Chains A and B, each alone.
Chain A
Amino acid sequence: MSDNSRVAERPDRLTGETSEGAQELVQRLDTSRDELGREVGAVLRLDGVTLDPSEVDYERHDDETMIINMGPAHPSTHGVLRLMLELDGEFVLRTKVVIGYLHTGMEKTGETLSYVQGATNVTRMDYLSPVINELSYSLTVERLLGVDVPARATWIRMLMSELNRVSSHLVWMATNGMDLGSTSMMIYGLRERELILAFFEKTAGLRLNLNYVRPGGVAADLPDGWEDDIEVICNTIEERTYEYDQLLTGQPIFRNRLIGVGAITAEEALALCLTGPLLRSTGVPWDLRRSMPYLAYDQVDFDVIVGTYGDNFDRYAIRLNEIRESIRIIRQCVEKMPAGDYRSQDPKVTPPPRARIGESMEALIHHFKLFTEGFHVPAGEVYSAVESPRGEIGCYMVADGGPKPYRIHVRAPSFTNLQAMPLLMRGASVSDAITMISTVDPVLGEVDR
Chain B
Amino acid sequence: MIPLPPLAPPGVLTDEAPACDVACFPTPAQYVDLVAAFKADGFEMCVDVCGVDYLEHFDRALPEGVTPTRFEVVANLLSLSKKRRVRVRVQAGSESPRVDSLFHLYPGTEAPERETFDMFGILFDGHPDLTRILMPEDWEGHPLRKDYGVGHIPIQFKEAPGPR
Which A residues form the contact surface with B (CB < 8 A)? Answer: 19-23, 34-35, 38, 43-45, 99-100, 103, 105, 107-109, 112, 143-144, 146, 270-275, 284, 286, 291-292, 379-383, 385, 392, 394, 396, 398, 400, 406-407, 409, 411, 415-416, 418-419, 448-449
Contacts and interface: CB of A to CB of B under 8 A. Distances in A.
A380 B20 contact: yes
B83 A292 contact: yes
A23 B112 CA distance: 15
Specify the main secondary structure of chain A where it touches its partner.
mixed
Contact of B50 (A44, A275, A409, A418): A409
Interface residues of B, number: 48
A277 to B, nearest CB: 16
Nearest to B152: A112
Contacts of A379: 57, 60-61
A23 B144 contact: no
Interface of B: 17-21, 23, 44-48, 50, 52-53, 56-57, 60-61, 74, 76, 80, 83, 85, 87, 104, 106-112, 115, 119, 128-129, 131-138, 143-144, 150-151
Given A35-B128, A383-B85, A406-B56, A44 B107 contact: yes
A45 B107 contact: yes
A400 B46 contact: no
B72 to A, nearest CB: 9
Contacts of B85: 383
Contact of A270 (B44, B50, B129): B44
A99 B74 CA distance: 23
Contacts of A406: 52, 56-57
Given A35-B128, A271-B107, A286-B80, A416 B112 contact: yes
Given A21-B137, A273-B45, A381-B20, 10 more contacts: A34-B128, A38-B128, A100-B132, A103-B135, A273-B106, A275-B45, A284-B80, A381-B19, A411-B48, A448-B134
A411 B133 CA distance: 15
Given A382-B20, A398-B52, A291 B111 contact: no
